[in-house]
Copies of this chain bind each other. A is one copy, B any other.
Amino acid sequence: MIRAKIVGAGGYGGVGIVELLLGHPEAQIACLVDVENVGEPISALYPHLAGFCDLKIIASADEQARRPVDVTFMATPDGVGMKLAPAELSAGAKVIDYSGDFRFNTPESYADYAGRIGKDPKHQAPQLLPEAVYGLTELHRTSLNRKTRLVGNPGCFAASCLLGLAPAVKNGLVELDSLICDCKTGVSGAGKKPNAAFHYPARYENMNAYKLAGHQHVCEIERELALLSGKPLRVTFTAQVVPVCRGIMSSLYGELRPGVKLADLLAAYQAFYQNSCFVRIFDRAAAIGSVQVRGTNYCNLVVDVDERTNKLRVIAYLDNLLKGQAGSALQNMNLIFSLDEKTGLDQPGKYP
């Protein structure tokens, strides 16, 4: 059994990986670490876990938290993983970090990201950056194997944009300077902490764009697309929030290269994802929405062309807390422990 430690267990990202690990046949939860609610059972914070996981939350300094584990999930905000990862790795654990701390491979690219979120641009563990793997499984599957020690799990918006654009960019089907990512997220993406903008009365019948001055996910989108295309590029990215709890819907646009037809696109997407069990491809006639991926690790892509204007148009749907967070984390864990990628994730969700 893989013994897993979860740091930041009390947030949505923490409880998400707890729920998944409870149903995973090859893993077990070793301990739950957080800075708040220390001493309380996780099931006191999340009563739906009563009888399933009643482990107490412990402090990172707790002796029990220092026992060796096989994998540590850092379900923590930016800046935490880079401080704790070195010790975890030294103790023999693999580390999967949810934040931006290990999504970049150089201190410079990290600094650009950090600047956008008002963090210190200096990375605290730069020696680890070269070996970190960007954990969007579908793009880096070959680097996710038993030798991998450190994974930087992707941002939820970034996951949707990259899955939706990668095949077109990789195959040179769109103009690289024309990409627009118009992204809408559910509220759970903002985490568990109460906030005036996400107070129920302020949110229930409201939708709005935010962070127009620059959302940090654009860094990893541009970095990954540049790796795929072989050239630097910039995208226009708009973050919006709508009154759903779970879900991302990203509408992705680009100018088609001359002569590219819808059939070419569909073929490219199907080829690109032929071994990716969690990506489903639909055409414009499909009656799908974010609800069809809610509670699952799937990303559904509607691949389309606006022939009148010669535009690529892809609509990407995923659950920001699963394929956009804990689900991807578990998918990565499976691979770096040589398990089937789908282990513990092979569920359709519940409807309605």
Contact = CB atoms under 8 A, between A and B. Distances in A.
Interface stretch (A131-139, A146-154, A155-163, A201-209): A201-209
Given A240-B249, A240-B251, A243-B243, A352 B202 contact: yes
B290 A207 contact: yes
Interface stretch (A88-96, A182-190, A263-271): A182-190
A201 B352 contact: yes
A200, A290, A315: which has the most chain B beta carbons within 10 Å? A200
A51 B157 CA distance: 25
A292 interface: yes
B313 A48 contact: no
A16 B352 CA distance: 9
Contact of A47 (B238, B288, B295, B311): B288
Contacts of A84: none
B352 A208 contact: no
B19 A348 contact: yes
A22 interface: yes
Nearest to A244: B205
Given A238-B313, A251-B182, A350-B295, A195 B199 contact: yes
A111 interface: no
B243 A212 contact: no
Interface string A43-69: 000111111110000000000000000
Interface string A86-122: 0000000000000000000000000000000000000
Interface stretch (A71-79, A166-174, A302-310): A302-310
A234 interface: yes
A187 B200 contact: yes
A1 interface: no
Interface in A241-281: 242-247, 249, 251, 253, 280
Contacts of A234: 308-309
A15 interface: yes
A338 interface: no
A294 to B, nearest CB: 6
A203 B351 CA distance: 11
Contact of A192 (B180, B201, B308): B201
Given A187-B201, A198-B194, A296-B48, A290 B208 contact: yes
A349 B208 contact: no
Given A22-B348, A295-B350, A184 B242 contact: yes
B288 A245 contact: no
A130 interface: no
A115 to B, nearest CB: 13
Interface string A210-248: 001110000000000000000000111010101111110
Interface of A: 12, 15-16, 19, 22-23, 46-53, 177, 180, 182, 184, 186-188, 192-209, 212-214, 234-236, 238, 240, 242-247, 249, 251, 253, 280, 284-296, 300, 302, 304, 306, 308-309, 311, 313, 315, 317, 347-352
25 contacts: A12-B352, A19-B349, A19-B351, A46-B351, A47-B292, A182-B253, A184-B184, A187-B200, A188-B352, A192-B196, A199-B200, A204-B243, A204-B245, A205-B245, A206-B244, A206-B289, A206-B291, A207-B244, A208-B315, A209-B302, A234-B308, A236-B313, A238-B251, A240-B251, A253-B253
